[in-house]
Amino acid sequence: MRDYKLDSEILRFLHKSERFYPVNAVELSIKDQRKCYSELCDAYQAPIPDSIFSTDHAIPGRNGPIPIRIYENHAHRSPVTVMYLHGGGFILGGLDSHHSICAEIAERTEFKVVAVDYRLAPEYIYPVQFEDALDAFLSIDNGHTVVVGDSAGGTLAAAVCVAQRGSDRQPVGQVLIYPSLGGQYLDLDSYKSNHDAPALSTEDVYEYLNLWAGNSPPENDPIFAPLMLSDFSDLPPCIAIAAQHDPLRDDVVAWSDRLNQAGIRASHHIEDGLIHGYLRARHCSNKAARSFSRICSGIKELGNRFFDQN
């Protein structure tokens, strides 16, 4: 492994994380991977802001009921809703894994946040996760929904935008946090230069995608790999954020560039010195904390921008 020049805060975060979710986790059984991931998320769970309360519900979907968790504050007055799709390689995570992340987004943005517990692979393979995400969006959308996701959740958030492109039921904005968008099909540099990056390697990316696809990844499918989309017009504005030391880094650059070329307002930011999964480090790393603030500001900007234009 090359020297990725991580600062002391991220190194401590990485070493602590590896105690719960080891480097060779993809070699474990799905059951053991989920156990490790749950312990990892629990280790970095932060206190829920006093102003925020959450309630659990279920909404209908074509594959059965979809559990959701709603975060809100009685003082919130904005009609903007944030739909949050969690990361975890399509095989890990749920409502609890990103609990404090969603609560803090609700506090900082002053928007209602709805976390979606989509079905996981390999018990359910593609496109079930996307179908759950789309069904959830169509159920909760009030005409001004920002879709947000990290890692696998970022893939699903972008896929919802692709599926609804040009329709009258479109998210008003998309915030994608170190997402997988199909850069493996474009031979992007970060898949090579960051192939052995800490926290997520290129081999890991392929492993998760293969599990998601039931070992048969589709070709030229912009729902599975949004960068395969041929026409980027009529997509919602986007803020995409990635870590410097991540094989998925260049996906956000390519996504943002294609949106801009199609006349869609989009920006991307590469977070120097950070690694995949750094949202969990937002309370122990100054760099991760600054990035989380940037993410929350971006969500708020896209949500409020809808009303500034209408």
Dist CA 125 CA 44 (whole Å):
29
**What's the CA gap between 174 and 238, in Å, rounded?**
5
Residue 221 bears catalytic tag: no
- Catalytic member of 17, 100, 276, 285: 276
Could you tell me which residues come within 8 angstroms of residue 2 by beta carbon, excluding any fewer than 6 positions away? 196
Whether 234 sits among the annotated catalytic residues: the reply is no
To the nearest 10 degrees (0 to 180), the angle between helices 30-43 and 8-20 is 140
Q: Give, to the nearest 10 degrees, the angle between helix 99-109 and helix 286-309.
A: 50
Report yes or no: 113 and 84 within 8 Å, Cβ to Cβ.
yes
Q: Where are the beta strands (DSSP E) in the chain?
A: 53-59, 66-72, 81-85, 112-116, 145-150, 173-177, 238-245, 266-275
Question: Residue 144: helix, strand or coil by DSSP?
Answer: coil
> Which candidate, 277, 228, 281, places its Cα nearest to that of 255?
228
Instruction: Check if 151 is active-site.
Output: yes
Catalytic residue among 132, 135, 246, 251: 246
Selecting among 17, 97, 100, 151, the annotated active-site residue is 151
CA 212 to centroid of chain Cα atoms: 15
Q: Tokens 């990103």 sit at which residue?
A: 98
Q: Which residues does the annotation mark as catalytic? A: 151, 246, 276
